Structures are given as C-alpha cells and as structure tokens.
C-alpha cells in the first residue's frame, strides 16, 4: 500500500485529546497514512503569533487532505472564524454532513435516520461583506449573495453524491417564496441541474416545513441540498436526531483540498479531562477514508464504531458510560 500524507491539526480544547484517540485507531487499522502536523487556532496564536500560519496553509495545499480538530476562535481577534476562513482560502464549497442512527445513544430515533445534508459552504448569508449597523444603532443590514455558479455546483455535488453512493432522492431545501431573489435563483438553478439526473428523484421543500418534517418523519429524507445558513441549522438539527454533537462529523470539500472534522467545537468545559467523545472526529476520518479511495477501510472503521456502541464498551459520559476518550478509542480499535 502506498503511504498517503495528510495534514493533522490537533486544535484547541478537547482537540488534542480526540485527535490522539482518532490517530490511535487509524494507526491500529494500518491504513497507510503519514501525518504532517500543522498548527491553527489558539495554539498557533501562542506559538507563532498567528491564528492561521502560512506553513499550515502550505501543508494543506500540498497534501490536499486534512484531518482537523476543533479550533477556538478568540473573540475580537483576527478572523470572524478560522473555520470560515479555511473554507474561503481553499474554496471548500461543499459541506457534507451525514446523520445516521446509532445504537445506544440518547436519541429519539435509535433507528430509521440515514441522511446526508449537503450545505453550500462559501456564499449566502456568510459573507463578511455589508455587515453594518447604523451609527445610532437603530438599524442593521447585511448582504446575502447567491450566485448561479455557486448554486449549480453545490446542487450538482449533491446529485453526483447520490449517484456515487446509490442514494435515490435529493430534496432541494429553499425559501424562495419569501427570499425571492437569492433563494429564487438557487431554486431555479437547482431545477435545471435536477433535470440532468432523471435517475434520481428530486423534490423541493421550504425550509420551515423541512424542519417539521425532519422531526416528524426523518426517514423520508435521503440527501438534502441547501444554502449556507439553512444547511448550518438543518445539519445541527440532524445531529440532534441521531444522538448529538459527539456523533456528528462533517467534510469540507473543494476542488483543491478537503478538510475532515467533527461538527462540534473545542468544548472548553470538558477540555483536559479525558472524557470527550472521539466518535465525531473518527466519523470524520470515515469520510476521509472514503475520499481517499479506501471505502473498505471506511466501512471497517464505521462498523467498529457501531459495534462498540452496540456493546456499550467504554462509552464516554455523554453517551451514558464511564469510559474515557482513550479507552473508548481502544475499544473501537479492537473491533476494526
Ligand atoms: P462545543 O461544541 O465546543 O460544545 C457544546 C457542548 O457540547 C458542550 O457542553 C461540550 O462539552 C459538548 N461537547 C462538544 N463536543 C463534545 C464531545 N466530543 N464529547 C462530549 N461532549 C462534547 O460548542 P461551544 O462551547 O459553543 O464552542 C466552543 C468553541 O469551539 C468556540 O470557540 C467556538 O468558536 C469553537 N467551535 C469550533 C468549531 C470547529 O472548529 N469546527 C465548531 C463549533 C465551535
Ligand atoms: Mg454550525
């Protein structure tokens, strides 16, 4: 097997603990990865005086694949968010967040949920442009920009993902009834793309109804594709459906690089205690292995996580167990 080098960002708070755990499992699996460590976030600010050092950007550009722990964004310094900045720098336009039921979580849906949210990651309400408050504090404005090209590529990504993974249906989520220009352009573009994929069922759903439907009948969804802000909110809702942040991974995919991570943050309230759940980052590693063309190893890792949950072996406190980050990881590694 050839060795693939990936950039590893250990991150802040619980970041180093869950990364140690994730790398322990990947090493035990012998999937042929070499790690190039790079700093970002608070650690980088302390060591190099910058939140996002050039060396880190160079490493990601060179390796094209990064596994990243959560980063703390210090309030009032530098970028509005380092994560948003990374997505911008590498044009990581597709944020892919799977949500699938797991056994022995505290979820309301121990079975039946198996969906992927594909969130547009670079435009919409997330541009820093035009965020203004009037001098007297009486009104505020912001710019939401949607492009035809941005809409086309995210919807195309969702339909290609459906084909590639044997999924049958794509739900285009929008609010074009109210946001007539931005969401309207998105919806019209999505319809044109959908017409090129007659083999995949396509339906349209307004975002508020989508939230209700997700809670009432999540099993009707297969792939959801939507704009940045709606995707942010919906994917957290979906994480909640299957057992919470400790089980929710996300991939940020662009044409030149891809960054795999947990959806959750640096959890300062439990940092350094060795009790953080490593599963979200490990499930990010599952997505990474798929991306690297190792679907068998991706399935192997995922199955080991499910088997460990099923056996209730060394689960962390968020899942009702008394295990630690590393004992949970070792239990998973032993099942790979
Ligand atoms: P958070 O996700 O760090 O924590 C929310 C709650 O979930 C906390 O009670 C925490 O203990 C718990 N939690 C999170 N991950 C867990 C895990 N793996 N195992 C067990 N419990 C877990 O959100 P919060 O507190 O709003 O943000 C903290 C920092 O993280 C902020 O600086 C924020 O900017 C950053 N952040 C970074 C992200 C990233 O790097 N992708 C994403 C979200 C937040
Ligand atoms: Mg979010």
Instruction: Give yes or no for a contact between 142 and 130, defined as CB atoms under 8 angstroms apart.
Output: yes
Tell me: the pLDDT tens digits for 70-106? 998 877 666 668 888 899 899 999 999 999 999 988 8
C-alpha span between 66 and 17 (Å, rounded): 17
List the CATH number of the domain containing 61.
3.40.718.10
Domain end among 192, 216, 242? 242
- Quick one: which H or E segment has residue 33? strand 33-37
What whole-number percentage of the chain has pLDDT above 90?
A: 86
Å from CA of 236 to ligand 2 middle: 7
List, in order, residues 6 or more apart from 168 with CB less than 8 Å away: 162, 200, 201, 222
Dmax of the chain from CA atoms? 64
pLDDT(38) > 80: yes
Tell me: the pLDDT tens digits for 248-277? 999 999 999 999 999 999 999 999 999 999
Mean pLDDT along residues 109-129: 89
Is the same domain home to 139 and 222? Answer: yes
pLDDT(155) > 70: yes
pLDDT(244) > 90: no
CA distance to 52, 218, 268, 317, per residue, from 71 (Å): 10, 31, 11, 22
pLDDT(109) > 90: no
The number of the ligand nearest the C-alpha atom of 228 reads 2
Å from CA of 147 to ligand 1 middle: 31
- Of the pLDDT bands very low, low, confident and very high (cuts 50, 70, 90), residue 111 is confident
Mean pLDDT along residues 5-25: 98
Q: Is residue 31 part of a domain?
A: yes
Task: State which residues form the domain around 215.
Answer: 105-110+122-226+233-242
Q: Which atom of ligand 1 is nearest to the CA of 281?
A: 18
Q: Is residue 97 part of a domain?
A: no
pTM of the model: 0.95
Question: Is the Cβ atom of 282 under 6 angstroms away from ligand 1?
Answer: no
Residue nearest to atom 37 of ligand 1 (CA): 265
Q: Is residue 186 part of a domain?
A: yes
Is 175 in the active site?
A: yes
Within 10 A of 127 (CB to CB), how many other CB atoms are there?
16
| 334: Cα separation from own chain's centroid | 26
Per DSSP, 185 falls in state: H
């Amino acid at each position: 097997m050839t060795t693939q080098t990936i950039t590893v960002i250990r991150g802040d708070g619980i970041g180093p603990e869950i990364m140690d755990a994730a790398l322990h499992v990947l090493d035990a699996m012998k999937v042929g990865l070499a790690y190039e460590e790079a700093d970002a976030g608070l650690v980088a600010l302390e060591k190099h005086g910058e939140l996002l050092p050039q060396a880190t950007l160079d490493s990601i550009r060179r390796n094209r694949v990064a596994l990243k722990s959560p980063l703390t964004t210090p309030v009032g310094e530098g970028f509005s968010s380092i994560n948003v900045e990374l997505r911008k720098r590498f044009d990581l336009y597709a944020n892919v967040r799977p949500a699938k039921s797991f056994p022995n979580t505290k979820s309301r849906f121990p079975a039946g949920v198996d969906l992927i949210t594909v969130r547009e990651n670079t435009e919409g309400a997330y541009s820093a442009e035009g965020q203004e408050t009037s001098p007297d504090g009486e009104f505020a404005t912001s710019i939401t920009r949607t492009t035809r090209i941005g809409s086309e590529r995210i919807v195309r990504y969702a339909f290609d993902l459906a084909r590639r993974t044997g999924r049958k249906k794509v739900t285009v989520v929008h609010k074009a009834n109210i946001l007539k220009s931005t969401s309207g352009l998105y919806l019209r573009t999505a319809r044109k793309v959908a017409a090129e994929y007659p083999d995949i069922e396509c339906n349209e759903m307004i975002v508020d109804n989508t939230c209700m439907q997700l809670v009432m009948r999540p099993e009707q969804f297969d792939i959801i594709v939507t704009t940045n802000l709606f995707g942010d909110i919906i994917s957290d809702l979906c994480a909640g459906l299957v057992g919470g942040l400790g089980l929710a991974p996300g991939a940020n995919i662009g044409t030149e690089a891809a960054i795999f991570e947990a959806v959750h943050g640096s959890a300062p309230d439990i940092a350094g205690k060795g009790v953080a759940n490593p599963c979200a980052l490990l499930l990010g590693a599952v997505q990474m292995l798929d991306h690297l063309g190792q679907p068998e190893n991706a399935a192997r890792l995922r199955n080991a996580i499910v088997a460990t949950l099923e056996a209730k072996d060394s689960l962390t406190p968020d899942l009702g167990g008394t295990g630690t980050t590393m004992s949970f990881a070792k239990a998973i590694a032993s099942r790979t």
